[in-house]
Structure 1
Amino acid sequence: MTEKPSGAEPPPPPPPRWFQRLDRWLRASPLGLGWTRGRDMELMHRSMGFAALGFLTLVPVLVLVAAAEPDSGQGFARWLGQAIGVTRESQTQVEKLFGVPDTALQRTTAFGLAALAVFGLTFGSALQTGYEKVWDLPTARWHTMWRHVVFLALLVLAVLGFTNTPSPDGPVVGPLVVVVLDVIGTFLFFWIAQRLLLGGRVRWSALLPGAAATTIGLLGLRGFSQLVFSPLIASSAVTYGPFGTVLVVQSWLVGVGVVVYGGALVGRLAHDGRVFRRLKDSDES
């Protein structure tokens, strides 16, 4: 019989039973499942990658496309300011950073346009990988890369639609109609984008909760941005100059990444819960 070495500490006592039951209940709850799956798919790391790719590869494409607007080259900057929900002072800083002259398209070469398109396709590939992780699907084959082209075209059309949404007259009716149209357009975009990037491997009905959760999350992010990011843009622009605006916009893009991937994850959990209840009811009957 071996003796315990002197100075060895006894093992810690097990937690109380009520704590163990609470831990099991939390792990089995929707919040616990979401936390576990979000950690497994590295939600925060993917969101930071979403922000980096969006700023480096996607934003230049959208800025250049928005420069084709007949009125001015500030289309994307205006839309970005509206999406963040900034004040007029902060909107000025965003337009200074992302505004381009009307002659930008004439000065851009064909090689430059091709390079921007290739960089933009990288963003679609990263978003597809995140959706595949959410649904536990294998990586799509190389011949499905045409879907990234369609997704980029769909995204460009969506941004152009948001930047050119007509606003009816009226101090209340006009903004309300614009918000409703933006909500419907955002929902349809993410519903179609999930189906497109996943290659049709998930049914439309299963993707609907994820599109709804993403839309609601973006609305909540806009309200949060009005309270946090909008004053930060104004103060950071004074302290750090244009670089301060870049930091705030980059932080906002991280939040967008959390909402986009997190909304898809919420949709997956809602779909799994619905399937589980359906199987449970069939077994009881």
Structure 2
Amino acid sequence: MGTGSRRTRTGRLVDTAKALHRRAESRFPLITHLADRMVSVNIFDSATRLAAQSFLTAVPLLFVVAAYAPPVLRHQLVTSIRAVFGLTGPADAEIEQVFQPSTGNLRQATGVIGGLMVLLSATAVSRALQRLCKRAWEIPRAGTRIAPWRWLAWLVLWLSALVLQGPVHSGFGLGAWLGLPLTLVTQILLWWWTQHLLLGGLVRWRPLLPGSVATGAVLTALTVTARLYMPRALNRTLTEYGSVGSVFVLLSWLIVVCVAAALSVTTGAVLAQEPFLSGRLGSPPARRDAPVP
């Protein structure tokens, strides 16, 4: 009797939860659809994996680029990193020391084979971001193979955008009044092309626009926040704990950025598939609206 009674109560609770979900979906469809998509994407797990891959593979790729890039390009890379994070004091000196040693020593530390391995390993970031985009758009794994060259193409895009961040943030020397809107436009275009590239054209350009705008706006706001928070945090941890402390600060910031990007991309996909936008954008139907075969 005890076991049967517990099963009965559990069944009632499940039925009640389902009824509440249906009622919420009828009254607040957008909120429930967004919550369901967040659960299916597994936002925080996906974002944390993306941040870890970025830290473990993309950051070493910067050292390889610094090893073989011409001095002008290497200097521009340092300038852009400094501009993105607003680095000053010990943190600025640390980044200068890391990326501006003698070229020969840096090349010996990496090596050609090591450089190629780092480049191939860095595609893990592209693959993690691709999985996030596919989950956000409910694209099944089966039958949706996407050419691996897109992973390398995204890395080239990311590196190029990073190198150009310095001039963009400064408004090409004209000041923040131009730099901020330029950063916003650049981020929107970057994420628009990122989704289209990594999804292999499975979703057309127009439906990808809401997510690109949302992601670009959120990451632009985080860029402003980074210039206020990162210099102080990095300088404090470098003083108290040395280089090890800066690792935790950088990884924590990457997690924040990746969570923001994952939330924005997923929210954009849900908005694009809602009735008030799907017809105008030509969005693919959400799985809940797809016709049953």
The answer to whether TM tops 0.5 is yes
Distance in 1, matches of 2:26 and 2:224, equals: 29
Q: Amino acid of the residue matched to residue 55 of structure 2?
A: F
Distance in 2, matches of 1:258 and 1:222, equals: 14
Deviations 1:227-271 (A, max 9, x none): 444422222222211111111111111111112222211211220
RMSD: 3.6
Structure with higher helix content: 2
Q: Which residue of 1 aligns with 2:41?
A: 41
Q: Amino acid of the residue matched to residue 37 of structure 2?
A: R
- Any gaps of 5 or more consecutive residues in structure 1? 15-19, 280-285
Verify: 1:112 aligned to 2:114, yes or no. yes
Of 66-75 and 116-125, deviating more is 66-75
- 1:98–1:53: structure 2 CA closer, same or farther, 3 Å change rule? farther
Asked if the contact 2:51–2:258 (Cα under 8 Å) also holds between the matched residues in 1, the reply is yes
Distance in 1, matches of 2:191 and 2:263, equals: 13
Deviation at residue 130 of structure 1 after TM alignment = 0.8
Q: Amino acid of the residue matched to residue 209 of structure 1?
A: P
Q: Which residue of 2 aligns with 1:195?
A: 196
Deviation at residue 74 of structure 1 after TM alignment = 5.2
Asked if the contact 2:211–2:265 (Cα under 8 Å) also holds between the matched residues in 1, the reply is yes
- 1:94–1:201: structure 2 CA closer, same or farther, 3 Å change rule? farther
Q: Which residue of 1 aligns with 2:128?
A: 126
- 1:66–1:179: structure 2 CA closer, same or farther, 3 Å change rule? farther
> Percent identity at matched positions?
25
- 1:28–1:69: structure 2 CA closer, same or farther, 3 Å change rule? farther
Q: Amino acid of the residue matched to residue 151 of structure 2?
A: H
What TM-score results when the alignment is normalised by the length of structure 1?
Answer: 0.78
Deviation at residue 179 of structure 1 after TM alignment = 3.0
Q: Which residue of 2 aligns with 1:53?
A: 53
Deviation at residue 185 of structure 1 after TM alignment = 2.1
What TM-score results when the alignment is normalised by the length of structure 2?
Answer: 0.76
Deviation at residue 34 of structure 1 after TM alignment = 2.7
Asked if the contact 2:146–2:199 (Cα under 8 Å) also holds between the matched residues in 1, the reply is no
Q: Which residue of 2 aligns with 1:174?
A: 175
Deviation at residue 33 of structure 1 after TM alignment = 3.3
| 1:1-285 alignment runs, 5 A limit | 24=24, 28-66=28-66, 68-71=69-72, 73=74, 75-84=76-85, 86-89=86-89, 91-92=91-92, 95=95, 98-103=98-103, 106-107=107-108, 108-139=110-141, 144-163=147-166, 165=168, 167=170, 173-274=174-275, 278=279
Asked if the contact 2:25–2:33 (Cα under 8 Å) also holds between the matched residues in 1, the reply is no
Deviation at residue 58 of structure 1 after TM alignment = 0.9
- 1:247–1:69: structure 2 CA closer, same or farther, 3 Å change rule? farther
Deviation at residue 101 of structure 1 after TM alignment = 1.9
Deviations 1:208-238 (A, max 9, x none): 1111111111022223334444422222222
**3-state SS of paired residue (1:144):** coil
- Any gaps of 5 or more consecutive residues in structure 2? 14-19, 281-293
Distance in 2, matches of 1:257 and 1:61, equals: 18
- 1:254–1:143: structure 2 CA closer, same or farther, 3 Å change rule? closer
Q: Amino acid of the residue matched to residue 103 of structure 1?
A: T
Deviation at residue 48 of structure 1 after TM alignment = 1.1
Deviation at residue 102 of structure 1 after TM alignment = 4.6
Deviations 1:7-45 (A, max 9, x none): x9xx7999xxxxx69x82698354443333222211111
Deviation at residue 196 of structure 1 after TM alignment = 0.7
- 1:165–1:217: structure 2 CA closer, same or farther, 3 Å change rule? closer
Asked if the contact 2:84–2:169 (Cα under 8 Å) also holds between the matched residues in 1, the reply is no
Q: Amino acid of the residue matched to residue 265 of structure 1?
A: T
